[in-house]
Structure 1
Amino acid sequence: MDKSEQELAIKRILVALDASTHSLAALEAAASLAANLQAELIGLFVEDENLLHLAGLPFAHEFNSSSAVRQPMSSEKMERQLRLQASQARRALQVAADRVEARWSFRTVRGQVTASVLAAALEADLLAMGRVSRPLSRHSRLGSTAREASTRTRRSVLLMQHGRNLNYPVLVTYDGTPAAGQAMETAVKMAQATGDELNVLLLAQTRDAADQLKEDLSARLGQRGLKVQFHWLPQATVDNLAKMVQASENCVLVLGGENPLLQAEAIQELLDRTDCPVMLVR
């Protein structure tokens, strides 16, 4: 990689924590990256002001799943629940960070979840969060905060879900642009950390252009100690890329570049159609 790509560094990883198992998967992945990159973990818990407002309304109730009893809800009770969740999130962060001997910090803020997460992400190099998958509803597979983060933040984003980790072969897109070079460097570091092979998906309109990209990358990656497989995607559509990811069964998808396939609307459609961990490099 050229000098600008080699200088790509992730030193501060923000983890958006909540009560979901998806955010815990993001925490575990972030801790793994922090260990490999000598990065700091920053935990963020947002006390959702919308929930607090709703809990204070006179008709607000909660349903106890264990007793099947409906009980009145209040803003005070919701505040206690949020404080408990924040405490649990902090403890989970501490355990994960201590396990990999990473520096860490934690803070709680009150506000709208999406706006608070995006604002905090500006202070980090990478935002890690759960994608809030809902398998029974294909069109709501990506949660609202994850959806906004995937397109609005200028920071790199790692999207995880429960039951997945980073210990899979890495699949990275490459179109020859500087942005794709940054994604490639990130993918190389991730593949080196796990010892898995690196699969490069060449985004080129012609076979000659794909062969040129492969030749350039082969020379650059030759000294990185990785097993590299190249694949050409002649028709760069979301449908074709989604099929490629699904055919891989288990992979970590790293996206970056200037191809129209990697722009906001296409990325969101791709995220809705795939379940693997996704790193959006910016």
Structure 2
Amino acid sequence: MANPNHPKYRRIVVQIDTSSSYSEVFHVAVDIAVKLGAELHGVFVEDKNLLNIGGLDFVREFSQFMPTAQNLDSSRLEEQLKALARRARSQLEQEAVSRNITAGFHTVREEFGSESATIVADVDLIIIERTSRSLLPSTLFLLPQDKAGQQAVRPILLLKGDRTLSGPLVVLCDSQGSLQSCLNVGSSLVQTEKQEILVLPCIATASDDGLLVENLKGIARDAAANIRIASPVKPEAEVIFSRLSASNNLLILARNGTLTRDRILLQKLIESRHPILFV
């Protein structure tokens, strides 16, 4: 039975650029769109810095198809980017047609501007591949602001190549207040009723471990999902990874929680093999 607390997904954006493994990420993104009954839109982000490099006299291009180094021409670079975008668009459309979902495609320049804001204005989920340069602060990873100047609240799914979401889901919980929203979004991505959601409390001090775990258990009992509360761990990457299964887990954590404010921990999570869902 559907959980009434699940968010409704109408429109999903999958963001790629020249560094993305888009063939793999499109396949997984289409699977997600099919499960959630949503339309899928690809956004190809052109690297403006790469285009600027093409105008520098001292930059040369080396290729196995040319006997000597050539000047890096901005117009040729732009054509290459457009060709890559066309190939990505064609693949996304083919995947969408084969799975009977609605798909769209847009190309934007790297710096986030009004064009990008319009594209993601009505988006319920943003998908990015880990190798993408989209992890830079000026891109969708940090989310655009809405018209009121407030940070837009949209889950971001950070995929790792062709890794699926079929493994156990793990909520890295740094507070009682963030658990419910993580469970609501995370449980909507559960593939089967038997798929477990593990809640792993991550707190720096042990003074209130017992109270936090009891409160988390109360929230879990009211949720329509297969949820297990684990014993608390310190918010350290090595400790967290030691509690995960050998297969890839989908890690779920609060977008503005204490864990994401720890830049060292966040970097290690991003570099790990595990997909991450920021709520």
TM category (shorter chain) comes to 0.7 to 0.9
**RMSD of equivalent CA atoms:** 3.0
Deviation string 1:154-174 (CA, Å, 9 cap, x unpaired) is 422111122422222211234
Give the unaligned 5+ runs of structure 2: 145-151
Identity of aligned residues (%): 23
Give the equivalent residue in structure 1 for 2:222: 220
Could you tell me whether the CA contact under 8 Å between 1:201 and 1:231 is conserved in 2?
yes
Could you tell me whether the CA contact under 8 Å between 1:261 and 1:267 is conserved in 2?
yes
Give the equivalent residue in structure 2 for 1:138: none
Distance in 2 of aligned mates of 1:57 and 1:147: 23
SS in 1 for 2:222: helix
Q: What TM-score does the superposition give when structure 2 sets the normalisation length?
A: 0.79
Give the equivalent residue in structure 2 for 1:211: 214
Distance in 1 of aligned mates of 2:255 and 2:239: 17
Give the equivalent residue in structure 2 for 1:145: 134
Alignment of 1:115 onto 2:118: no
Q: How far apart are residue 122 of structure 1 and its match? A: 4.0
SS in 1 for 2:198: strand
Structure 1 stretch displaced more, 74-83 or 116-125? 116-125
Equivalence map 1:16-55=2 (5 Å): 16-55=15-54
SS in 2 for 1:233: coil
Could you tell me whether the CA contact under 8 Å between 1:156 and 1:280 is conserved in 2?
yes
CA distance 1:159–1:73, shift in 2 (3 Å): same
Give the unaligned 5+ runs of structure 1: 133-142
If each structure's helix is expressed as a fraction of its own residues, which one has the higher value?
1
Q: How far apart are residue 128 of structure 1 and its match? A: 0.8
Q: Which 4+ runs in 1 deviate beyond 6 A?
A: none
Q: Which amino acid aligns with 1:207?
A: G
CA distance 1:99–1:166, shift in 2 (3 Å): farther
Structure 1 stretch displaced more, 39-48 or 256-265? 256-265
Distance in 2 of aligned mates of 1:50 and 1:66: 25
Q: Number of matched residues? A: 260
Q: How far apart are residue 105 of structure 1 and its match? A: 0.8
Distance in 1 of aligned mates of 2:111 and 2:159: 17
Could you tell me whether the CA contact under 8 Å between 1:10 and 1:39 is conserved in 2?
yes
CA distance 1:92–1:216, shift in 2 (3 Å): same
Give the equivalent residue in structure 1 for 2:276: 278
Distance in 2 of aligned mates of 1:118 and 1:89: 18
Q: Which amino acid aligns with 2:82?
A: R
Q: What TM-score does the superposition give when structure 1 sets the normalisation length?
A: 0.78
CA distance 1:95–1:68, shift in 2 (3 Å): farther
